[in-house]
Amino acid sequence: MYRLICRDGNAKRGEFTTVHGTIQTPVFMNVGTAAAIKGAVSTMDLQGIKTQVELSNTYHLHVRPGDQVIKKLGGLHKFMVWDKPILTDSGGFQVFSLAGLRKIKEEGVYFNSHVDGRKIFMGPEESMQIQSNLASTIAMAFDECPPHPATREYMQNSVDRTTRWLKRCKDEMARLNSLEDTINRKQMLFGINQGGTFEDIRIEHAKRIAEMDLDGYALGGLAVGESHEEMYRIIEETVPYLPLEKPTYLMGVGTPENILESVERGVDFFDCVYPARNGRHGNAYTNHGKMNLLNAKYELDSRAIEEGCDCPTCRHYSRAYIRHLLKAKEMLGLRLLVTHNLYFYNNMMEEIRGAIEQQRYNEYKKAKLKGFAEGEA
Amino acid sequence: MYRLICRDGNAKRGEFTTVHGTIQTPVFMNVGTAAAIKGAVSTMDLQGIKTQVELSNTYHLHVRPGDQVIKKLGGLHKFMVWDKPILTDSGGFQVFSLAGLRKIKEEGVYFNSHVDGRKIFMGPEESMQIQSNLASTIAMAFDECPPHPATREYMQNSVDRTTRWLKRCKDEMARLNSLEDTINRKQMLFGINQGGTFEDIRIEHAKRIAEMDLDGYALGGLAVGESHEEMYRIIEETVPYLPLEKPTYLMGVGTPENILESVERGVDFFDCVYPARNGRHGNAYTNHGKMNLLNAKYELDSRAIEEGCDCPTCRHYSRAYIRHLLKAKEMLGLRLLVTHNLYFYNNMMEEIRGAIEQQRYNEYKKAKLKGFAEGEA
């Protein structure tokens, strides 16, 4: 249940109550694809870096270890030892991006597993069943992720099918939640808006899914190659047609800059692999932009990545030490960087919530963007 | 300063006071070769798994990031954020096992770096200087690690040179400890007994180095290919010629069984890479022998690796989850295993100390070995 606490312009400050606790929004979900955060960060560590929601990938877990295995072990929360909210995606995105040869039909998608080539079928019902087995807090509807760019005709057909699939997802989720042996019988369902950069298709689709009274709504198919400006325009034009009294989730986005701009346009939920991916490349997020710890100038730098940062990495370890670990290919280096980066995102969301509450979001955003642009002091 | 608290047979229960705190012995040192424990285990984590002493490798740190860099950053303790004792080896073992083409001369060893092929010279003075720059709590003498097997003549010449080198190490350490800008001016020095499996050479050497009044004595060149029985025999025959009122360190050993047998023969200090190496192969140490978590039978096993184990891994995570992480090649799997394995060793040492205090070491050892041999319950 979403409660809108206040607005500052179009920016929303809310809270979303689930069976696994209340999420303060706007929120950044921390990605743990295969029921584990990359970089050897444990769920115990997440408790110390302001993580509110963990996100796992349905496709990966279906393939390995298998959602039936996770169900037998009591669901994803027990499996990975995390009692706060978990959102699972529908598997659709991975089917369309990772899997081998695939065929899209009205009933769903036939494809080959990227692990062992095994033939798999996934449709709306299968996605809901898998997510019900995983027993996440929030399930995502099974949609088609259209290629970018796509023709108008392709997009319209795809979006129409995604709407029909959404109805089937909703029905199947209701059925699963009514079953005795379902682990989380209050599993929530978010619908996904598609339409690429065709704003009229986006808006029409938003209106149609808004009527379906789902627990939340996502914007899918963005950050797939279009410019940032185009993405912001689509968000700006579509969000007004999604229910204000429900959370809006911008899937797979993005940089700190993207998040600041999107919060301003009314987005509540985010997720992105950047904190981990940047860690792998030696990059740390700071209030003065990204810092590459592999840079020789940090060899003798005994300061924390960001002075004053309260993350477990900055509280203890120096730039010089982390640089050494990265150069020596010690796994600990990646862990320390990912920990800092996730904290940076989670902490920025906390700042964002405070700024909206205090009706100074625009000022906050400008100052933050200025700092990023200025670079290291 | 070593204080012998009590003995049970030849097993010693002692404490070793250093500038970085007191070490309760017998002790297992946790290996952090390049100033980092393998498996993304941080020095903060070490505080929760009963680690008393961290061991780093002089050769690795000399090559990268460089001991001068670490000195400028305030020494190894500050660099890796660990305020308890650190032992550094002399670099000798790595020079003889890792480095490329090498030439042994009276002054020291000429060799090529394994990282960039650069020519390096290391002799007793250089090893002491590097370890002084690292500012470890305990430095190890620079010795030759003779090949195994070696002829009697080779061994005798090598051991004689090692004795001459030890004298130079002691003089150089005294000089370095007297310098104003030395970080740890109370750096301790352990000598190393060599002699392969020639017990008369071992004993003669032990007598000669015992006279040199060092802070501790190590048995080197064991566990290099000889049988366990031969190793135990050498320990048994040599330890009586090393000072009882100093700690005895068996370098690079070994399995839990090896440790139990060696404690019984009077050894105080141990170190070994097995906890990390076994983690990499999916093996966890338990009181019922090693368990390979990759085994299919753990797929649905929701129990801890070892029920009742108080390590951070067993307190939270299941065999099934760790198995999944290993199969999915998630770094977290290795971290959880290494954490458990280090705790297993550290905790066993605590049990060993208790058993010696209570004069029931032999009984404890037998029960422990029986458990290992029985396998999983």
Query: DSSP secondary structure string, B151-169?
Result: -HHHHHHHHHHHHHHHHHH
> In degrees, to the nearest 5, what angle opens at C-alpha A120 toward C-alphas A115 and A123?
130
**Closest by Cβ to B69, choosing from A79, A299, A317:** A299
Residue A237, H or E segment: helix A228-238
Contact state of B36 with A325 under an 8 Å Cβ cutoff? yes
> B-side interface with A, Cβ within 8 Å?
34-44, 60, 64-65, 69, 72-74, 78-81, 299-300, 302, 312, 316-318, 320-321, 323-325, 327-328, 330-336
Chain A residues touching B79 at Cβ < 8 A = 318, 320-321, 324
How far does B87 lie from chain A, in Å, by closest CA?
A: 19
Spatial CA neighbour of A290 closest among A351, A376, A350: A376
A140 forms beta bridges with: A190
Domains of chain B plus CATH, in order, are 2-271 (3.20.20.105), 279-376 (no CATH)
Chain A residues touching B82 at Cβ < 8 A = none
Chain B residues touching A72 at Cβ < 8 A = 300
Chain A residues touching B35 at Cβ < 8 A = 321, 324-325
Q: Are A354 and A365 in contact (CB under 8 A)?
A: no
Chain A residues touching B328 at Cβ < 8 A = 34, 36, 60, 64-65
B92 is in an annotated binding site: yes
Integer angstrom CA distances of residue B74 from A53, A170, A366, B70? 40, 61, 40, 6
ipTM of predicted complex: 0.97
Integer angstrom CA distances of residue B261 from A334, B2, B333? 39, 22, 31
pLDDT tens digits, one per residue of A1-33: 999 999 999 999 999 999 999 999 999 999 999
Per the listing, tokens 């068996």 go with B250
A66 is in an annotated binding site: no
| Local confidence pLDDT in tens for the 377 residues of chain A | 999 999 999 999 999 999 999 999 999 999 999 999 999 999 999 999 999 999 999 999 999 999 999 999 999 999 999 999 999 999 988 888 877 678 999 999 998 888 888 888 999 999 999 999 999 999 999 999 898 899 999 999 999 999 999 999 999 999 999 999 999 999 999 999 999 999 999 999 999 999 999 999 999 999 999 999 999 999 999 999 999 999 999 999 999 999 999 999 999 999 999 999 999 999 999 999 999 999 999 999 999 999 999 999 999 999 999 999 999 999 999 999 999 999 999 999 999 999 999 999 999 999 999 999 998 75
Spatial CA neighbour of A52 closest among A77, A76, A21: A21
Give the type of residue at B107.
Answer: E
B111 is in an annotated binding site: no
**Closest by Cβ to A300, choosing from B72, B78, B323:** B72
d(CA B82, CA B88): 14
Q: Are B222 and B250 in contact (CB under 8 A)?
A: yes
Contact state of B312 with A44 under an 8 Å Cβ cutoff? yes
Spatial CA neighbour of A304 closest among A274, A330, A343: A343
d(CA A117, CA B310): 41
A270 is in an annotated binding site: no
| A269 half-sphere exposure, CB direction, 13 A CA radius | 30
Count of pairs with CB atoms under 8 A, one residue in A, one in B: 129
B290 forms beta bridges with: B285
A314 is in an annotated binding site: yes
d(CA B31, CA B53): 9
pTM over 0.90: yes
